[in-house]
Chain A
């Protein structure tokens, strides 16, 4: 087993005291930031990038792995202990998890979430170790036209499949593509959309974009709609599970993993769909289905596993194709580029040590999360009581610090504020963030692939349809665009049905 050998090698690199320390710091920082309300994993990674600036890439990525899984775990803690989920992927966890917490079973809810995350994360990472190299082997052969087509597919999928309004999805996408244009055109050395500002020639730092959109945008949006009444935080002791909880949890964990991983690997918006599918499945299969809606442990175990498995699945396209499919992956890729590492199909062979160490650290980070966070849960729960003015002031402080520290130029902080305003505007007008971020990252990449393809063909646009894979991809895009309205109808029906069953529940009571 070649891959296992490589993973073993990665583990050996990762298990030095120094690297373990970085993993531990990453896990703790990630959980700390992830628990804070209003901060999701993507923002956690973006905010913490400056901390890794002077580390070597290996150490930095070990830390990232910890931050990423820590941020995911922190998010689920928040949604169980507060009734409002921070991101769409936690909606399902929040439903049952918070009901459990209110019934005094917060400890069990946190435990099944933590152990389920561990199971899903571990299985998911092992699957990445098998699929990513295989995909990269194939991907190295992919020509520029097919590459271009796949990127179009990623953008169309994230834009149309997700969200309630495709029009607003495309607005987000094109805004992002416009931002991606700013800077020097690499082929001709001319400036585009820079308004002559020298700091813009070098292209806009994706970290500044991400922190601006996520952190500042969120803080400004919260400022406009700050919840004046404090939320109820459920107190919690040390998480544990009884024999019955184990019996009811292990199957949902595995099923959730099976749902989550494939969805994480395709550009369909990460964990939103698989967590929903997992929840619906557990509800149907459970012998205690009448408990759903009142705190069923299966309804926490399944979606949480799906959430984390999709978080692992994200690494397949990211490592094998250099293609980010979630906001978090975009930020991580940006960090990679910051180290002068070019993402793409060659990454697995060029930087094989780094990749395998990263995968090994994902496993280690996952195990560390379990060991550290079960005992620390009561402490994390206390973070939820931080008064909101200080919390958001702190977020602004660290966001500005991060933007400033990248180049030591106040201009970057000004730019951060501009992107904060764009983030505010997007939240106000219901424009999804993911297409925007992917547009910023993939736009320039698409342009270079397109020009590469056409330079070879001498300007003949038919080259774009020269490869079977490209044609297949465009066919898939066409199907998706046509199928969207159909999906929407089905969705609406399902929603009506869930609404009705809710009504029925109310009537029964």
Chain B
């Protein structure tokens, strides 16, 4: 499979970033384990596993960095709707993350019915839909419907938020 055009040349530098991330997580795991007390009558203790895993992560980070320098390239995952021949569109990803984080932040305040509707409409818009009114309507139906579905059908009260008393 042809690699994406913006990544055809030489070394995949982003992989160094991944290696660094692995090393940090590994080091932190080891450090965190060193702060634990070892209990009595527990020869393995809570430390051994994190030590092994953290050390393993650091070793993998080094191996990955070496492999990257030698030109090892990842094989990005294919899929039904994934077109690997176009270069990655990180702007859309960032916007989508923005929509998700907005949902997380406002969920308790606005309630699921409103937040969920905005999530659907916002995500559809970011992904290229331009039928805003229809998306908001669909989102509202989904959100209010699922709110009632969980409340009536499953007995789980999702937060009503600002619609408290109306729903």
- B47 CB to closest chain A CB, in angstroms? 9
Partner-contacting stretch, out of A187-195, A329-337, A471-479, A501-509:
A187-195
In the complex, chain B residues 142-167 whose Cβ is within 8 Å of any chain A Cβ: 142-143, 146, 150, 154-159
Since A181-B50, A404-B107, A451-B44 are in contact, a sample of 8 more A-B pairs with Cβ atoms closer than 8 Å, ordered by chain A residue number, is A38-B79, A220-B96, A224-B93, A225-B89, A388-B81, A396-B123, A404-B158, A410-B104
Q: Is A218 an interface residue (CB 8 A)?
A: yes
Asked whether, in the complex, the Cβ of A401 is within 8 Å of the Cβ of B127, the reply is: no
- B142 CB to closest chain A CB, in angstroms? 6
Contact with B along A404-447 (1 / 0, CB 8 A): 11001010011001001100110111110000000000010011
Asked whether, in the complex, the Cβ of A420 is within 8 Å of the Cβ of B100, the reply is: yes
Can you spell out 10 A-B residue pairs with CB atoms less than 8 angstroms apart? A50-B154, A53-B156, A54-B156, A171-B22, A188-B42, A188-B45, A188-B46, A221-B79, A389-B125, A397-B120
Q: Is A198 an interface residue (CB 8 A)?
A: no
B-side interface residues toward A, CB under 8 Å?
4, 14-15, 18, 22, 25-26, 28-29, 32-33, 36-39, 41-46, 48-50, 53-54, 56-57, 60, 63-64, 67, 72, 74-84, 86, 88-90, 92-93, 96-97, 100-101, 103-105, 107-108, 112, 116, 119-129, 135, 138-139, 142-143, 146, 150, 154-159
Asked whether, in the complex, the Cβ of A187 is within 8 Å of the Cβ of B74, the reply is: no
Which residues of chain A have C-beta atoms less than 8 A from B33's C-beta? Answer: 192
Which residues of chain B have C-beta atoms less than 8 A from A175's C-beta? Answer: 22, 25, 57
A390 to B103, CA, bound (A): 17
A53 to B154, CA, bound (A): 7
A414's partner among B15, B18, B104, B155 (CB-CB below 8 A) is B104
Which residues of chain B have C-beta atoms less than 8 A from A414's C-beta? Answer: 101, 104
A170-B60, A174-B60, A223-B126 are known contacts. Are A397 and B41 too (CB-CB below 8 A)?
no
A388 to B92, CA, bound (A): 14
Closest Cβ neighbor of A429 among chain B residues: B74
- B107 CB to closest chain A CB, in angstroms? 4
B56's partner among A174, A192, A404 (CB-CB below 8 A) is A174
Asked whether, in the complex, the Cβ of A82 is within 8 Å of the Cβ of B80, the reply is: yes
Q: Is A20 an interface residue (CB 8 A)?
A: no
Asked whether, in the complex, the Cβ of A393 is within 8 Å of the Cβ of B135, the reply is: yes
- B95 CB to closest chain A CB, in angstroms? 8
Closest Cβ neighbor of A189 among chain B residues: B39
In the complex, chain A residues 357-397 whose Cβ is within 8 Å of any chain B Cβ: 387-390, 392-394, 396-397
Closest Cβ neighbor of B105 among chain A residues: A410
Which residues of chain A have C-beta atoms less than 8 A from B38's C-beta? Answer: 188
Asked whether, in the complex, the Cβ of A223 is within 8 Å of the Cβ of B96, the reply is: yes
Closest Cβ neighbor of B94 among chain A residues: A223
Asked whether, in the complex, the Cβ of A393 is within 8 Å of the Cβ of B29, the reply is: no
Closest Cβ neighbor of B129 among chain A residues: A389
A124 to B102, CA, bound (A): 46
Which residues of chain B have C-beta atoms less than 8 A from A226's C-beta? Answer: 81-83, 89, 92, 127-128
- B57 CB to closest chain A CB, in angstroms? 5
- A350 CB to closest chain B CB, in angstroms? 27
Q: Is A459 an interface residue (CB 8 A)?
A: yes
7 closest cross-chain pairs (CB), A and B: A459-B43, A430-B74, A389-B129, A389-B127, A393-B123, A37-B80, A393-B124
Q: Is A455 an interface residue (CB 8 A)?
A: yes
Closest Cβ neighbor of B95 among chain A residues: A223
Which residues of chain B have C-beta atoms less than 8 A from A410's C-beta? Answer: 104-105, 107-108
Contact with B along A163-185 (1 / 0, CB 8 A): 01101101100110110010001
A467 to B100, CA, bound (A): 51
A428-B74, A451-B44 are known contacts. Are A224 and B89 too (CB-CB below 8 A)?
yes
Asked whether, in the complex, the Cβ of B82 is within 8 Å of the Cβ of A429, the reply is: no
- B164 CB to closest chain A CB, in angstroms? 14
Asked whether, in the complex, the Cβ of A167 is within 8 Å of the Cβ of B60, the reply is: yes
Which residues of chain B have C-beta atoms less than 8 A from A171's C-beta? Answer: 18, 22, 60, 64
- B114 CB to closest chain A CB, in angstroms? 13
